[in-house]
Chains A and B, each alone.
Chain A
Amino acid sequence: MWGIIRQKVAAGGGSPVARIRPVVSNLRNYSSAVKQMMVREALNSALDEEMSADPKVFLMGEEVGEYQGAYKISKGLLEKYGPERVLDTPITEAGFTGIGVGAAYYGLKPVVEFMTFNFSMQAIDHIINSAAKSNYMSSGQISVPIVFRGPNGAAAGVGAQHSHCYAAWYASVPGLKVLSPYSSEDARGLLKAAIRDPDPVVFLENELLYGESFPVSAEVLDSSFCLPIGKAKIEREGKDVTITAFSKIVGLSLKAAEILAKEGISAEVINLRSIRPLDRSTINASVRKTNRLVTVEEGFPQHGVGAEICASVIEESFGYLDAPVERIAGADVPMPYAANLERMAVPQVEDIVRAAKRACYRSVPMAAAA
């Protein structure tokens, strides 16, 4: 939350004193009384509005109904829409995901919740072979307007089997769209876009972001608000180095950009929002401006999202690069449990700062990671 306030103030060119202004002082800005919304609430309101607008939209997953959602994302929906549209499933991902895809074949618009995307591996055949490929294989006869959503990536202390990031896995599949929101505006706009989209969408949320609040404008709060799929957002403009990130890492990248600014490095932070399709034009335009690239992600390094971004930039903007591309990812180990080890297994603000400095030739170059 502190990071957010700093970001807001910095964008408006605030003075150093303003940086330590506590959250509560926001209330004194009557002229810009912007509402704060938690990501959880953003997702809940998006689901609510889309279910209200289209009777074909329904939600299914473990604990989405009576439990109000494992992470309370679907709070109140069962009461409002009834058990025919908010369905508690048994713990059988392969079965209920297949049922969701079959319902989408028929023309309904299911939103299938995975308690975490780690469990989606039990259903991955249906996501890829039954959902993603059907439109192509049937030459357009079958369309699959389904959304698979849930928390993705590392949480806190949940261990190796509950911390995997699936962005690169799903983003490699033609026929899928893969989105990953950061802020509440992202969460609302992208989830609405996903539900309205006629193709299967994998919607990767982040458990640690659910409780974070972000400012939302009146436009974002409107029920017709929607963000385009395939378009990244430049969260912070800069001219020295491009940092690409998605989900929680966007927050860390913005913090890193603050630190870099103090050292005279102006970093441009791109919030990818859409992993597939990847907004190659925004990324390349940015690198052509800054001439340096740092990609950051939480997931494993090999064949990751950063690998694709680096390849895209090298293919399209090689002549503009003034330094080798820098790729930061999670450590190439199953996620450890101990807090100190976990901290070392996931990119931290310092890692982003260090990589950006390397790209700007301000520090000793590191040997390429294994």
Chain B
Amino acid sequence: MALSKLSSPSSLSTNILKPLTNSFLLHRPISTDTTPLTIETSVPFTSHQCEAPSRSVETTPKELLSFFRQMATMRRMEIAADSLYKAKLVRGFCHLYDGQEAVAIGMEAGITKKDSIITAYRDHCTFLGRGGTLLEVFSELMGRKDGCSHGKGGSMHFYKKDSGFYGGHGIVGAQIPLGCGLAFAQKYSKDETVTFALYGDGAANQGQLFEALNIAALWDLPAILVCENNHYGMGTAEWRAAKSPSYYKRGDYVPGLKVDGMDALAVKQACKFAKEHALKNGPMILEMDTYRYHGHSMSDPGSTYRTRDEISGVRQERDPIERIRKLILAHDLATEKELKSVSDLCL
């Protein structure tokens, strides 16, 4: 069903571009409602060498619904990519982000398109969050010229420079010094913007991370290093790879914050806080406690090094989309039926 929807590009692109407010599915004017709403994060932030931000996050019904819609789209996109890969329409490597959507979405809510993001190879949703389209994603995955890299990059090399997305990098850890370089250039150009350099718990042990962090701290660069800790570096659990898996503390003299990465509002709050910090005081580390439902890539079943119970347990207890869905329903911002329509059609 999903594939046939995707095969008609005109309907797809107009659907994606249609703002939520024009959708005939939501009769109530809650979708544009910008009445402020304050919601508490799931858990308080844990901090290292700094004061933690407040647990109370300011949001609006409009924002919550857009979180839901975008995360549902990301989830469907990754599942569709899974099917395409199994149908051999996507070749090589394909690293899926489902489960981690809250990090991409929360970050976008806390920053602007003038700030920069750079990440590793699990980049489909980050690209979408920066303003990329589904057409560009699927075309690139299938090696077509309408892909964001005109078919020359592939899954691991999505870029969108005009909205501050610098890729898409295949070499583990390389994106961290590159991100600090972006921050250097932002400071050099006096742009008052920051760079978020995302990496995984596997990359957190890379030497170049510490080399770049040292320089970033010495030169007060507006760089925020974000460890998307999904607890597995390919097939190796964090406790087998890191003597100290408290990644938010690994910066030593650099302040850090541990965040529930399955809670989009907590991510938003942390990113806002980090941006303010970085512009005044230099680099900071954010550790997002998150989880990926798929294996490391499509070549990895993801169940040889972790139990199916663990995966389904996280899905039950901590799924980011489910969390927002419950919030929307609890605050009576939409009905179940309306939300189901949104997630089915990804409008």
Contacts and interface: CB of A to CB of B under 8 A. Distances in A.
A94 B177 contact: yes
A102 B157 contact: no
Interface string B131-168: 00000000000000000011111000101110000111
Given A95-B211, A125-B171, A141-B159, A105 B152 contact: no
B180 A99 contact: yes
A137 B157 contact: yes
B176 A98 contact: yes
Contacts of B166: 102, 105-106, 142
Q: Secondary structure of the A side of the interface?
A: helix
Contact of A138 (B149, B211, B218): B149
A95 B214 contact: yes
B149 A90 contact: no
Contacts of B152: 136-139
B188 A96 contact: no
Given A130-B178, A139-B150, A98 B208 contact: yes
Contacts, number: 125
A106 B185 contact: yes
Scoring B180, B185, B189 by chain A CB atoms within 10 A of each residue's CB, the highest score goes to B185
B346 interface: no
Interface string A96-138: 1111111111111000000000000000011001100010111
Nearest to B212: A95
Nearest to A97: B177
B174 A129 contact: yes
Contacts of A97: 177
Interface string B196-214: 0000000000011011101
A84 interface: yes
A35 B179 CA distance: 45
B181 A94 contact: no
Given A96-B215, A142-B159, A129 B170 contact: yes
Contact of A106 (B157, B168, B186, B211): B186
Nearest to B188: A108
A126 B185 contact: no
A130 B178 CA distance: 8
Nearest to A129: B171
B249 interface: no
B174 A125 contact: yes
Contacts of B179: 102
A92 interface: yes
Nearest to B187: A84
Interface residues of A, number: 32
B208 A94 contact: yes
A148 interface: no
A90 B218 contact: yes
A99 B181 CA distance: 4
B64 to A, nearest CB: 33
B188 A92 contact: no
B182 interface: yes
A282 interface: no
B149 A130 contact: no
Contacts of A348: none
Given A95-B215, A136-B152, A105 B174 contact: no
A98 B185 contact: no
B181 A106 contact: yes
Return the 7 tightest CB-CB contacts between A and B, nearest first. A102-B181, A98-B177, A95-B211, A106-B185, A92-B211, A102-B178, A139-B150
Interface of A: 58, 84, 87, 89-90, 92, 94-108, 125-126, 129-130, 134, 136-139, 141-142
5 contacts: A102-B180, A104-B181, A126-B174, A129-B174, A139-B152
Given A105-B182, A142-B166, 14 more contacts: A58-B188, A94-B207, A95-B210, A95-B214, A99-B177, A100-B181, A105-B181, A105-B185, A108-B185, A125-B171, A129-B170, A137-B149, A137-B167, A139-B153
